Chains A and B, each alone.
Chain A
Amino acid sequence: MSASASYRSRRVPPMTPAAALRDTAGIAKRYLLRTIRMPAEASVLVIQPALILLLFRYVLGGAIKVPGGSYADFLVPAVFIEAMLLSGMSTSIGLALDLKTGIIDRFRSLPMARSAVLAGRTLSDLVRSVFALALMIVLGVAVGFRFHCTPAAAFAAMALVIAFGYAFSWVYATIGLLTKDPEVAQGVAVLPVFILMFISSAIVPVATMPGWLQPVARNQPFSVTVNAVRALLEGGPVYHWLWQSIAWSAGLLLIFFLVAVHLYRTITS
């Protein structure tokens, strides 16, 4: 070994995609084990969208008039998406908790992929949200919702819901990394859950809102996704909403992936 003051050149090979995937899978497994072992938290994620479904179907729905079709068929696709938003909140809370307990410091000091903690977290979120979605389908059918479409269209609609949920879990990851505290994270993460659902075509038709609010309510991601899902399930012009929903999900995913990974690299807990 030379006695010069210059430092050694790189010994460790750069991160390969296969290694990054293994890291991600390991982290995802950790979060899923946590979910299984803390069933109270997981059940809250199912109970909340179920409550919203029942409240709007049986308490408020009677007063809401929708053009054509039943209110159950109008409401249930929105509850699918709301279930994604509610289930994704746990990403904000979980990451903030990991920052607070110092476990993110441990991960950041390990030779693992810089994206793996966030990707593993959001993937475990995806598994939970698919589970929540399945339960919402069962519950939806129980309160009068029906699929009036081909299996392929139903499948595409559910894929759209899941894609929106997954993209949005990167928004939640960003919230968790910015707030760094589980309670603050919960307080912030609940905002999109309400704002996006209520200022949208999810619960009531946009045409009933004040004119200045309508462009926002009509074009935000929750609305375009719920419109696309309804069009796929009920018939009607699909492509206009479909491409907007895909564009929103892809855009949210890309931007918040970059923001969250940057925050993770530089974060100080």
Chain B
Amino acid sequence: MTEPMIEARALVKRFGSATALAGVDLAAEKGTTLALLGPNGAGKTTLVRILTTLLKPDGGRASVAGYDVTADPGSVRSAIGLAGQYAAVDELLTGRENLELAGLLYHLGRAERRRRAQQALERFSLTGAGDQLVKTYSGGMRRRLDVAASLIGRPAVLLLDEPTTGLDPRTRNDLWQFIDELVAGGTTVLLTTQYMEEAERLAHRIVVIDTGKVIAEGTAGELKDRMGGDVLVATVAARADLSRASALLAPLGEGPPQVDPDQQRVSVPARDGTTVLIAAGQRLAGAGIALDDLGIRRPSLDDVFLALTGNAGRPGDEPARGTLPGP
């Protein structure tokens, strides 16, 4: 195994009495994309802030491009690019001025930073707007400029914190394609996302984190295999039937049923799809529950994610639920 470009070992971060990271391990090899998947508050941003030297960990260690983030933060900074959740560009500067300032702060010479700023404007389709103030840019243009600025120092490791949140589908696809190109060129990318689609589309490996802990890790395929086969999905006609349907389907599944009230859907992992489908139909019909849809499908990452983090009772979360027997 080659030396990992991003590595975290037993990383801990506390804010007062709250534990943001409770011993996180992860690694990304050179020229790969690692997706950090998790809900809001899972600790994704905290992890990115530690890897980019913005925060000091309380325990464990982490390295980026081979440099320890605590012992040698200066070297880490010279090897990384960061694009955060907000477009961290100056509205009262032009796109080109923003890029040239970033180049100066990476200690590039004047000619070199001009050249790179021009290249970046071309690559991110901002040539026409390069000499306009950023305050005239659309949200998508700002985000592109932000990513361009994070790349001006040609970093070996690029960290993107929810890079496509709030972007329209076309800009998002452009950004995805661009990340693919970068990784093909040898850059190592870590990105955080709440979207399974994005993790599946971009990442070689996915780390699922929730409440500061890694709860699963693997390729998209490996994570799906953990579901143990297919998923039975029943969509009930009346929301009031959801909990009854869930109770009826529970004994059929390989794992606990997941209830999605918005979609009025109950899903359970099912190893022998056809048998389970027939049994489910009989049980629900016998109980007089009207269905909009009943079927078997391959698990999506959403299923995996819900199964891992979902409503089966998170320790410490919503203790009022209280239906789980104590140890």
**B90 with A109: CB separation less than 8 A:** no
Q: A residues 35-60 with Cβ under 8 Å of B?
A: 37-38
Out of A3, A14, A103, name the residue touching B89 (CB < 8 Å).
Answer: A103
**B84 with A23: CB separation less than 8 A:** no
**A110 with B84: CB separation less than 8 A:** no
Check A112/B86 contact, CB under 8 A, given A7-B72, A38-B92.
Answer: no
Answer yes or no: B137 CB below 8 A from chain A CBs.
Answer: no
Answer yes or no: B75 CB below 8 A from chain A CBs.
Answer: yes
Answer yes or no: A105 CB below 8 A from chain B CBs.
Answer: yes
User: Which A residues are CB-close (under 8 A) to B66?
Assistant: 7-8
Answer yes or no: B312 CB below 8 A from chain A CBs.
Answer: no
B176 shortest CB reach to chain A, Å: 22
User: Which A residues are CB-close (under 8 A) to B106?
Assistant: 110-111
Answer yes or no: B118 CB below 8 A from chain A CBs.
Answer: no
State A231–B260 Cα separation when bound (angstroms): 79
**B67 with A110: CB separation less than 8 A:** no
State A210–B72 Cα separation when bound (angstroms): 56
Segment touching A, from B52-60, B191-199, B203-211: B52-60
Out of B52, B78, B87, name the residue touching A12 (CB < 8 Å).
Answer: B78
Check A110/B77 contact, CB under 8 A, given A7-B71, A22-B104.
Answer: yes
Check A109/B54 contact, CB under 8 A, given A1-B3, A22-B107, A102-B84.
Answer: yes
State A111–B81 Cα separation when bound (angstroms): 10
Residue of B nearest to A108 (CB): B54
State A26–B77 Cα separation when bound (angstroms): 18
Residue of B nearest to A23 (CB): B105
State A23–B63 Cα separation when bound (angstroms): 26
Answer yes or no: B47 CB below 8 A from chain A CBs.
Answer: no
State A116–B82 Cα separation when bound (angstroms): 19
User: Which A residues are CB-close (under 8 A) to B75?
Assistant: 8, 10-12
Answer yes or no: B291 CB below 8 A from chain A CBs.
Answer: no
Out of A33, A101, A106, A111, name the residue touching B107 (CB < 8 Å).
Answer: A111
B234 shortest CB reach to chain A, Å: 44
Answer yes or no: A127 CB below 8 A from chain B CBs.
Answer: no
**B78 with A101: CB separation less than 8 A:** no
Check A23/B104 contact, CB under 8 A, given A12-B75, A268-B55.
Answer: yes
Out of B53, B82, B105, name the residue touching A112 (CB < 8 Å).
Answer: B105
State A103–B102 Cα separation when bound (angstroms): 11
User: Which A residues are CB-close (under 8 A) to B55?
Assistant: 268
Check A105/B77 contact, CB under 8 A, given A7-B72, A10-B72.
Answer: no
**B86 with A110: CB separation less than 8 A:** no
**A26 with B105: CB separation less than 8 A:** yes
Answer yes or no: B119 CB below 8 A from chain A CBs.
Answer: no
**B54 with A33: CB separation less than 8 A:** no
State A112–B89 Cα separation when bound (angstroms): 17
Answer yes or no: B68 CB below 8 A from chain A CBs.
Answer: yes
Residue of A nearest to B66 (CB): A8
User: Which B residues are CB-close (under 8 A) to A110?
Assistant: 77, 102, 105-106, 153
Check A108/B53 contact, CB under 8 A, given A22-B107, A33-B92, A38-B92.
Answer: yes
State A115–B74 Cα separation when bound (angstroms): 14
Residue of B nearest to A14 (CB): B74
User: Which A residues are CB-close (under 8 A) to B63?
Assistant: 7
**B93 with A33: CB separation less than 8 A:** yes
Answer yes or no: A254 CB below 8 A from chain B CBs.
Answer: no
Out of A11, A26, A111, name the residue touching B101 (CB < 8 Å).
Answer: A26
User: Which B residues are CB-close (under 8 A) to A145?
Assistant: none
User: Which B residues are CB-close (under 8 A) to A11?
Assistant: 67, 75, 78
Check A106/B88 contact, CB under 8 A, given A7-B66, A7-B67, A12-B78.
Answer: yes
Beyond A7-B68, A7-B72, A266-B56, 13 extra complex contacts between A and B, CB < 8 Å: A3-B3, A7-B71, A22-B104, A26-B105, A29-B101, A106-B82, A106-B102, A109-B54, A109-B82, A110-B102, A111-B77, A112-B107, A268-B55
Q: Give residues in A with beta carbon < 8 Å to B.
A: 1, 3, 7-8, 10-12, 14-15, 19, 22-23, 26, 29-30, 33-34, 37-38, 101-103, 105-112, 116, 266, 268
Q: Give residues in B with beta carbon < 8 Å to A.
A: 3, 49, 52-56, 63, 66-68, 71-72, 74-75, 77-78, 80-82, 84-90, 92-93, 97, 101-102, 104-107, 133, 149-150, 153
10 A-B residue pairs with CB within 8 Å: A7-B71, A7-B72, A10-B67, A34-B90, A102-B86, A102-B88, A108-B54, A112-B105, A268-B54, A268-B55
Closest 10 CB pairs of A and B: A106-B88, A111-B78, A102-B86, A8-B66, A109-B82, A111-B77, A102-B88, A26-B104, A112-B105, A34-B92
